Structure 1
């Protein structure tokens, strides 16, 4: 969304989230080997809840007890989402009259959420799940989605207050209330005023402390945990807590971040001297905003390709057990149909070997064959989501149509998603073990995956056309044999183009590529100018995730592109014809 701000971001750098120096950060609490847990009845979806006893001051020791409840009985409780922290310097609480050790991070959360004059009931993974029982962990992880969904409130504990965090939390709470009132009033002017108010505050120099605090909030180590992806996405009424202040995660934090992004898109960074660098950074590398997007799309069915893309997307998130890189995302696939499909290849089992789990993921993703999809299916848009359609008339005029229904996604067409794209994630970092084949991705490693042709082109351009992927395993699933079209090598390579080239500079490069293609035809692939232009734009118009390129782009002429490039350097110049207009629009695509 914010690609045009990359020149700003590259100069500014990005601070990594702060974390403990202890290598044991986020390790499960295995400090309570002697605690007498009573077994849960997994078949009845039984869970434990922590009932924290009240205390008038924070100096009082924490006393709590466990309660067994069945989710089907709809118990009233809150759920805690927090950073596990290091177990190297634990604190002690009293649980069911026994000493129970917790991390300092959890201890600070318990102190914060304890009430002065009434008990408080919270589900806390490190206490409510017997971390030493693999059988129990397997069962509880399978219902984690339901646990968070049924919570009356999800308490997202970021940690103590920091500079300007109180002002930031107050600001987010105010924005939440303004947007809520604007929505309730159904007054278009009120909604417009609320949106414009964000823009005004973006330009206010006195707000710089708030924007810096927002950046710091989104850089906290909490957002790097793998499990919080599911916790924040599914959690009932998630609230972000920093020190003594709180604000809504969805209607506060994510709404503010989204509003900033929308306002940025409407402005010209070259002319906008007020551009605020802290949030140009955090909007492009922001886990909170990514999770907010997942929360918005919970009702859209997820499949194997969604899992593959999400594994790549959240690859750098932290998990003590590398199996959790996969398990933490399975709640999104927890519909009966999706669950039965992935369970053919692997299951939630902490006793299983990591290699076997990752191999199962590979098989599951690769098992989903290519299929024709509608535009809405490929874009992940629901049936009632506001959508925009494009059309190109015979004279080259581009027509736009906004509607509340998907009037542009009814006709399926070939968009080969390429299930074997999972191979692009292989061969990164160290292998899981000496016995792991080189083609098996290691989701426990941080480096991001590589993009395939399908992904680069928005899944609409594939050299193999309609050929189905063919593969099989040999030697006990250690050798993968794939049939396909082999690219033996690149015989001729044109010069590269700089990312921030002007239209004139870019057109000069395109002209050199066209000249090279004409001068170096082969007997197998003779020169085809129409194929050249279709390849250049990846068959797409303006946004590769929307519609096919207009026919005029297939027959583009280099002199038309040059004229459009020259005119683009003179803002007052009017296009002389529709071909010139389409040539100008091609620059937006490229």
Structure 2
């Protein structure tokens, strides 16, 4: 329901006017009073609040312009703290935007990048101090801040400092702010930011510097001490470092141009949003489409419509099907088409990092030889039509490969040998090249890539790598990987390639790795615009893949992207026996 405050303070949608909150001074225990007014963003001095909205229940009331307004307990606490800090002119989304007016909301949300960028300072409200099990205020967070302030002076690796940090940082990073989607833009575009956690404050720039220095310590002088910490302590330290470094990396990208929207959607996919449409809208101010009409904030659209528009826009903008690699396991009856990533779906942790690395490395392949996607949407219900070439039907699949981190015994070789039982006779010539099936199988295990630790990136496999992966292979013939052996990136390469994937073989003998959902009778396709092949599943059992049935598309659901040894560089397009056909994805 719209508040009468907004009826009296309308915002024209053809200029850059915003509402600002003026907090009236008051003692800590007094009720909060304030005034909302209209101001021009470019001519005003104000602070912008970045916070987690908190629970859905509105538990507190404020008096604004003489009207009682309900807010969450977390926001009320923030305003009470900021009033005590004499920060009185604020932009707060929950109060300065009429959330009940969709048209105004669309307009103001589209301005949010500029609102935060032009503010005097962004106030990052992490919440009130909590009580520890020792019933004292969270001194561990203050201790952590105090320890961080001396980190530049560390000359020796001392386990006591790291343990103190781990305890405090676990509390600090456990507050909801770090999990929210919108705060990425709010902090990245800030010219200056201050963190407020209860009565404790710290400049964001300081905290970011501490994260970089701590990361350097853990990689170098403190590496041995770090290895001796408990798993929980190690996790706590990196749960502090990684989000800070991600934000600062994005800040550097923005300074040199706009990031790619798909990269933002993938990188921050695990963050949460109360409105699922914000999983896309929250990043449009940082990286939108460059060659197509930009995606607009529109809260009249459904979640599915927003995600579908984003997927289509990304495909057309990049002439690539890379966004199709971002879907999770699709279920029949889902509100989303199988080809549209559901950015709000929970992402299973096992294999998540490996999946991201595979997506980043997909540009090393050219399964469709750079051919632009030929796409259209029509029909009732609407179907997504693409062109491509059917490679073959999958006849056999192996078990799902568990991530290495789940294995205390390092017995990776057992699963690899189980996959070998699925492959065609090892001595026979492989269908996709002048080498044996066992040679093709080995290259499949690495997806024809090699991870270079020095660069933190993958490259295509070549003869330089034969010694490293040959040593790994001989070790696994004994049934285990010795953790004391240094395989120079082989372990990272293998895990990236295989974690939460299935090995499969097709009728003709093609070997590959596909999603965990891959089944026998699925079909491998090379779709125009795809850097990798894709696995598709018929929506009706009696349908056949017809190589010559161009113009009469078969209906499929998208299972996901895959690797197939021997067709990753467009070889299938040179096969005169293969015909281009149209397929329709539900």
Relative to the length of structure 2, the TM-score reads 0.68
Q: Which region of structure 1 is more displaced relative to structure 2, 138-147 or 417-426?
A: 417-426
Is the Cα contact below 8 Å between 1:308 and 1:365 reproduced in 2? yes
Secondary structure at the counterpart of residue 446 of structure 1: coil
Q: Does 1:237 align with 2:192?
A: yes
Q: Which region of structure 1 is more displaced relative to structure 2, 480-489 or 542-551?
A: 542-551
Q: Does 1:488 align with 2:393?
A: yes
In the superposition, relative to structure 1, how do residues 495 and 556 fare at CA in structure 2: closer, same or farther (>3 Å)? farther
Secondary structure at the counterpart of residue 315 of structure 2: helix
Choose the corresponding residue for 1:298, options 250, 254, 273: 254
Q: For the residues of structure 2 that align with 1:100 and 1:585, how far apart are their CA atoms? A: 58
Q: Which residue of 1 aligns with 2:426?
A: 518
Secondary structure at the counterpart of residue 136 of structure 1: helix
Choose the corresponding residue for 1:246, options 198, 201, 210: 201
How far off is 1:240 after superposition?
Answer: 1.6
Secondary structure at the counterpart of residue 393 of structure 2: coil
How far off is 1:50 after superposition?
Answer: 0.9
Q: Which residue of 1 aligns with 2:178?
A: 223
Q: For the residues of structure 1 that align with 2:306 and 2:469, how far apart are their CA atoms? A: 52
Q: Which residue of 2 aligns with 1:419?
A: 322
Q: For the residues of structure 2 that align with 1:212 and 1:47, how far apart are their CA atoms? A: 41
How far off is 1:565 after superposition?
Answer: 11
Is the Cα contact below 8 Å between 1:428 and 1:442 reproduced in 2? no
Q: Which residue of 2 aligns with 1:540?
A: 450
Q: Which residue of 2 aligns with 1:156?
A: 124
Q: Does 1:69 align with 2:39?
A: yes
Q: Does 1:359 align with 2:359?
A: no
Is the Cα contact below 8 Å between 1:87 and 1:102 reproduced in 2? no
Q: For the residues of structure 2 that align with 1:498 and 1:243, how far apart are their CA atoms? A: 39
In the superposition, relative to structure 1, how do residues 488 and 175 fare at CA in structure 2: closer, same or farther (>3 Å)? same
In the superposition, relative to structure 1, how do residues 340 and 316 fare at CA in structure 2: closer, same or farther (>3 Å)? same
Q: For the residues of structure 2 that align with 1:139 and 1:489, how far apart are their CA atoms? A: 49
Where do residues 96-495 of structure 1 align in structure 2 (5 Å cutoff)? 96-115=65-84, 120-162=88-130, 163=132, 165-169=138-142, 171-172=144-145, 175=148, 194=153, 196=155, 199-200=157-158, 203-204=159-160, 208-252=163-207, 254-266=208-220, 274-282=228-236, 288-289=243-244, 290-302=246-258, 306-333=260-287, 338=289, 341-343=292-294, 346-369=295-318, 418-422=321-325, 424-425=327-328, 427=330, 431-432=334-335, 436-447=336-347, 451=355, 455=359, 457=361, 459-475=363-379, 478-485=382-389, 486-489=391-394, 491=396
Secondary structure at the counterpart of residue 206 of structure 2: helix
Is the Cα contact below 8 Å between 1:426 and 1:442 reproduced in 2? no
How far off is 1:465 after superposition?
Answer: 4.5
Secondary structure at the counterpart of residue 333 of structure 1: coil
How far off is 1:209 after superposition?
Answer: 4.5
Relative to the length of structure 1, the TM-score reads 0.67
In the superposition, relative to structure 1, how do residues 109 and 429 fare at CA in structure 2: closer, same or farther (>3 Å)? farther
Q: For the residues of structure 2 that align with 1:169 and 1:266, how far apart are their CA atoms? A: 26
Q: For the residues of structure 2 that align with 1:503 and 1:496, how far apart are their CA atoms? A: 13
In the superposition, relative to structure 1, how do residues 539 and 209 fare at CA in structure 2: closer, same or farther (>3 Å)? closer
Q: For the residues of structure 2 that align with 1:145 and 1:246, how far apart are their CA atoms? A: 24
- Give unmatched runs, 5+ long, in structure 2: 495-586
How far off is 1:268 after superposition?
Answer: 9.3
Q: For the residues of structure 1 that align with 2:491 and 2:342, how far apart are their CA atoms? A: 38
Q: Which residue of 2 aligns with 1:16?
A: none
Aligned residues between the structures = 473
In the superposition, relative to structure 1, how do residues 152 and 276 fare at CA in structure 2: closer, same or farther (>3 Å)? farther
Q: For the residues of structure 1 that align with 2:31 and 2:321, how far apart are their CA atoms? A: 57
Is the Cα contact below 8 Å between 1:76 and 1:151 reproduced in 2? yes
How far off is 1:329 after superposition?
Answer: 1.0
Q: For the residues of structure 1 that align with 2:400 and 2:299, how far apart are their CA atoms? A: 51
Q: Which region of structure 1 is more displaced relative to structure 2, 417-426 or 504-513?
A: 504-513
Q: For the residues of structure 2 that align with 1:588 and 1:88, how far apart are their CA atoms? A: 45
In the superposition, relative to structure 1, how do residues 484 and 268 fare at CA in structure 2: closer, same or farther (>3 Å)? farther
Q: Does 1:88 align with 2:65?
A: no
Q: Choose between structure 1 and 2 for higher RCO, CA contacts under 8 A separated by at least 6 residues.
A: 2
Is the Cα contact below 8 Å between 1:83 and 1:105 reproduced in 2? yes
Q: After superposition, give the CA deviation of every residue in 1:417-438 in whole Å (9 maximum; x if it has no partner).
A: 7425346346269733xxx533
How far off is 1:215 after superposition?
Answer: 0.8
Q: After superposition, give the CA deviation of every residue in 1:91-125 in whole Å (9 maximum; x if it has no partner).
A: 22221222222222111111111047x67111111
How far off is 1:497 after superposition?
Answer: 8.4
How far off is 1:477 after superposition?
Answer: 7.4
Q: Which residue of 2 aligns with 1:388?
A: none
In the superposition, relative to structure 1, how do residues 496 and 157 fare at CA in structure 2: closer, same or farther (>3 Å)? closer
Q: For the residues of structure 1 that align with 2:492 and 2:4, how far apart are their CA atoms? A: 61
How far off is 1:151 after superposition?
Answer: 1.4
Q: Does 1:78 align with 2:40?
A: no
- Give unmatched runs, 5+ long, in structure 1: 1-29, 180-192, 371-416, 574-580
Q: After superposition, give the CA deviation of every residue in 1:296-333 in whole Å (9 maximum; x if it has no partner).
A: 43224445xx4334334433433232221111111112
Is the Cα contact below 8 Å between 2:468 and 2:488 reproduced in 1? no
The CA RMSD measured in Å over matched residues stands at: 4.2
Is the Cα contact below 8 Å between 2:468 and 2:490 reproduced in 1? no
Is the Cα contact below 8 Å between 1:64 and 1:96 reproduced in 2? yes
Q: For the residues of structure 2 that align with 1:584 and 1:349, how far apart are their CA atoms? A: 49
How far off is 1:221 after superposition?
Answer: 1.8
Secondary structure at the counterpart of residue 168 of structure 1: helix
